[in-house]
Amino acid sequence: MKKKTQKLAKNGANGSLPEGEQFSLRLYVAGQTPKSLTAFANLKRLCDEHLPGQYRIEVVDLAKNPHLAQADQIIALPTLVRRLPEPIKRVVGDLSNSEKVIVGMDIRNLKAKSENP
């Protein structure tokens, strides 16, 4: 719990560019539990694979910032929230089923869109 977590894991060429960062993802965890580490690793792998340079992952450690749990309606951990693009989507769990993450977060769809033009 005391150990430092990845506070902000930025991936992507251009942090401020809206077109480059079309995915804003937030991963809520409570300390470095095996589940949260797995979730983060799974997420990172998927994003790198499907959304290179288009995403940003924010890891929120509720053990450190417990007040955020209420504000963001978090119950289960780990929880992945897709804040952008709208609508907001949530996935609960360690994201071990990649296929489901891709469908749930619409990652493939957007990638297809961005590849089309």
Question: Which residues make Cβ contacts (< 8 Å) with residue 77, sequence separation at least 6?
Answer: 28, 29, 30, 33, 35, 36, 62
Q: In angstroms, what is the minimal distance from the CB of 25 to other proteins?
A: 14
Q: In angstroms, what is the minimal distance from the CB of 54 to other proteins?
A: 21
Q: Which is nearer to other proteins, 14 or 65 (CB)?
A: 65
Q: In angstroms, what is the minimal distance from the CB of 38 to other proteins?
A: 8
CA distance 22 to 7: 20
Q: Which residues contribute to the site for other proteins (CB under 8 A)?
A: 28, 30, 33, 35, 38-39, 42, 62-63, 66-67, 69-70, 73-79, 89-97, 100-101, 104
**Spatial contact of 107 and 45, defined as CB atoms under 8 Å apart:** no
